[in-house]
Structure 1
Amino acid sequence: MTRLAIIRQKYNPAGGAERIVSAILGQLKHQSTLEPVLINRNWETLDGVAVCRVNPFYLGSIWRDWGFARAAQRAWKRVGADLVQSHERIPGCHVFRAGDGVHAAWLDARAVGKGWWHKLSVWCNPYHHFMLRMERAMFSHPDLRAVICISEMVKQDVLQRFPVRPEQCVVIHNGVDCTRFNPVAARARRAALREQYGIAADAPVLVYVGSGFERKGVAQAIRAIVPHAEVQLVVVGGDKKLAAYRQLAHALGVAGRVHFTGPQKDVLSHYGMADGFILPTLYEPFGSVVAEAMACGLPVLTSTRCGGGECVSPGVSGWLALPQDTAAWQENVGIWLAARAQWPWMAEQARARVLVQTEQHMVEQMMFLYSRLLQVSDKKNNE
Structure 2
Amino acid sequence: MTRLAIVRQRYNPAGGAERFVSRALDALARQGSLDVTLITRRWEDHAGYHSLTVNPFYLGNVWRDAGFARGVRQAIAREGFDLVQAHERIPGCDVFRAGDGVHRAWLARRGRALSALGRLKLKLNPYHHYICRAEARMFADPALKAVICNSRMVADEIQQYFGLPADKLAVIYNGVDTQAFHPGLASQRDAVRAHWRIPAQAPLLVYVGSGFERKGVAAALAAIAPLAGVHLLVVGHDKHAARYQAQARALGVAERVIFTGAQKDVKSFYAAADALILPTLYDPFPNVCVEALACGLPLFTSTGCGAAEWIRSGENGWVRDALDVAGFTADIASWLQARADWPSLRAHARATVEPYTLEAMAEELLGLYRRLLG
TM-score class, shorter-chain normalisation, is over 0.9
Question: Equivalents in 1 of 2:51, 2:275: separation in Å?
Answer: 39
Change (3 A) 1:26 1:113: closer
The aligned counterpart of 1:245 is 244
Deviation at 1:49, TM superposition (A): 0.7
Question: Equivalents in 2 of 1:321, 1:28: separation in Å?
Answer: 36
Could you tell me which amino acid in structure 1 is paired with residue 273 of structure 2? A
Could you tell me which amino acid in structure 2 is paired with residue 115 of structure 1? S
3-state SS, counterpart of residue 344 of structure 2: helix
The aligned counterpart of 2:189 is 190
- Asked whether the equivalents of residues 3 and 82 of structure 2 are also in contact (C-alpha less than 8 Å), the reply is yes
3-state SS, counterpart of residue 65 of structure 2: helix
Could you tell me which amino acid in structure 2 is paired with residue 322 of structure 1? D
Deviation at 1:36, TM superposition (A): 1.2
Deviation at 1:14, TM superposition (A): 2.1
The aligned counterpart of 2:339 is 340
Question: Equivalents in 2 of 1:12, 1:145: separation in Å?
Answer: 28
The aligned counterpart of 2:323 is 324
The aligned counterpart of 2:121 is 121
Question: Equivalents in 1 of 2:42, 2:113: separation in Å?
Answer: 38
The aligned counterpart of 2:62 is 62
3-state SS, counterpart of residue 71 of structure 2: helix
CA-to-aligned-CA distance 1:124-171 (integer Å, 9 cap, x gap): 211011011100110111111111000001111111101311111110
Question: Equivalents in 2 of 1:24, 1:113: separation in Å?
Answer: 34
Question: Equivalents in 2 of 1:291, 1:119: separation in Å?
Answer: 32
Deviation at 1:113, TM superposition (A): 4.4
The aligned counterpart of 1:369 is 368
- Asked whether the equivalents of residues 296 and 350 of structure 2 are also in contact (C-alpha less than 8 Å), the reply is yes
Could you tell me which amino acid in structure 2 is paired with residue 166 of structure 1? A
Question: Equivalents in 1 of 2:31, 2:248: separation in Å?
Answer: 50
The aligned counterpart of 2:254 is 255
Structure 1 portions without partners, runs of 5+: 376-383
Deviation at 1:26, TM superposition (A): 1.1
Kindly indicate whether residue 81 of structure 2 is the aligned counterpart of residue 81 of structure 1: yes
Identity, in percent, stands at: 53
3-state SS, counterpart of residue 55 of structure 2: coil
Could you tell me which amino acid in structure 2 is paired with residue 225 of structure 1? I
Name which of structure 1's ranges 219-228 and 259-268 shifts more when overlaid on structure 2: 259-268
- Taking only aligned residues, the RMSD between alpha carbons, in angstroms, comes to 1.1
The aligned counterpart of 2:179 is 179
- Asked whether the equivalents of residues 209 and 289 of structure 1 are also in contact (C-alpha less than 8 Å), the reply is yes
- Asked whether the equivalents of residues 14 and 236 of structure 2 are also in contact (C-alpha less than 8 Å), the reply is no
3-state SS, counterpart of residue 281 of structure 2: coil
CA-to-aligned-CA distance 1:8-65 (integer Å, 9 cap, x gap): 0001122221121112211222223221111111012322211111110111111110
- Asked whether the equivalents of residues 139 and 163 of structure 1 are also in contact (C-alpha less than 8 Å), the reply is no
Deviation at 1:190, TM superposition (A): 1.5
The aligned counterpart of 2:50 is 50
Matches within 5 A, 1:239-318: 239-318=238-317
Deviation at 1:341, TM superposition (A): 0.7
Question: Equivalents in 2 of 1:39, 1:281: separation in Å?
Answer: 30
Displacement over 4 Å in runs of 4+: none
Question: Equivalents in 2 of 1:100, 1:208: separation in Å?
Answer: 19
Deviation at 1:329, TM superposition (A): 0.8
The aligned counterpart of 2:111 is 111
CA-to-aligned-CA distance 1:239-297 (integer Å, 9 cap, x gap): 11111101111111111111111112331010111111100000001011011111111
Could you tell me which amino acid in structure 2 is paired with residue 68 of structure 1? F
Could you tell me which amino acid in structure 1 is paired with residue 305 of structure 2? C
- Asked whether the equivalents of residues 16 and 287 of structure 2 are also in contact (C-alpha less than 8 Å), the reply is yes
The aligned counterpart of 1:94 is 94
The aligned counterpart of 1:19 is 19
Question: Equivalents in 2 of 1:291, 1:263: separation in Å?
Answer: 19
3-state SS, counterpart of residue 4 of structure 1: strand
3-state SS, counterpart of residue 259 of structure 2: strand
- Asked whether the equivalents of residues 9 and 42 of structure 1 are also in contact (C-alpha less than 8 Å), the reply is yes
Kindly indicate whether residue 365 of structure 2 is the aligned counterpart of residue 359 of structure 1: no
CA-to-aligned-CA distance 1:92-124 (integer Å, 9 cap, x gap): 111100111111111000011433212210122
Question: Equivalents in 2 of 1:45, 1:337: separation in Å?
Answer: 43
- Asked whether the equivalents of residues 205 and 276 of structure 2 are also in contact (C-alpha less than 8 Å), the reply is yes
How many pairs were matched up? 374
Per the normalisation by structure 1, the TM-score is 0.96
3-state SS, counterpart of residue 11 of structure 2: coil
Question: Equivalents in 2 of 1:266, 1:368: separation in Å?
Answer: 31
- Asked whether the equivalents of residues 299 and 318 of structure 2 are also in contact (C-alpha less than 8 Å), the reply is yes
Could you tell me which amino acid in structure 2 is paired with residue 22 of structure 1? S
Structure 2 portions without partners, runs of 5+: none
Per the normalisation by structure 2, the TM-score is 0.98
Question: Equivalents in 2 of 1:112, 1:14: separation in Å?
Answer: 26
Could you tell me which amino acid in structure 2 is paired with residue 264 of structure 1? Q
- Asked whether the equivalents of residues 89 and 138 of structure 1 are also in contact (C-alpha less than 8 Å), the reply is yes
- Asked whether the equivalents of residues 9 and 88 of structure 1 are also in contact (C-alpha less than 8 Å), the reply is yes
- Asked whether the equivalents of residues 188 and 269 of structure 1 are also in contact (C-alpha less than 8 Å), the reply is no
Deviation at 1:192, TM superposition (A): 2.0
Question: Equivalents in 2 of 1:325, 1:45: separation in Å?
Answer: 42
Kindly indicate whether residue 211 of structure 2 is the aligned counterpart of residue 212 of structure 1: yes
Question: Equivalents in 2 of 1:346, 1:158: separation in Å?
Answer: 33
3-state SS, counterpart of residue 35 of structure 2: strand
Deviation at 1:83, TM superposition (A): 1.0
CA-to-aligned-CA distance 1:178-237 (integer Å, 9 cap, x gap): 1000111x2233212212222111111001011000000000000110111020111111
Could you tell me which amino acid in structure 2 is paired with residue 149 of structure 1? C
- Asked whether the equivalents of residues 38 and 51 of structure 1 are also in contact (C-alpha less than 8 Å), the reply is yes
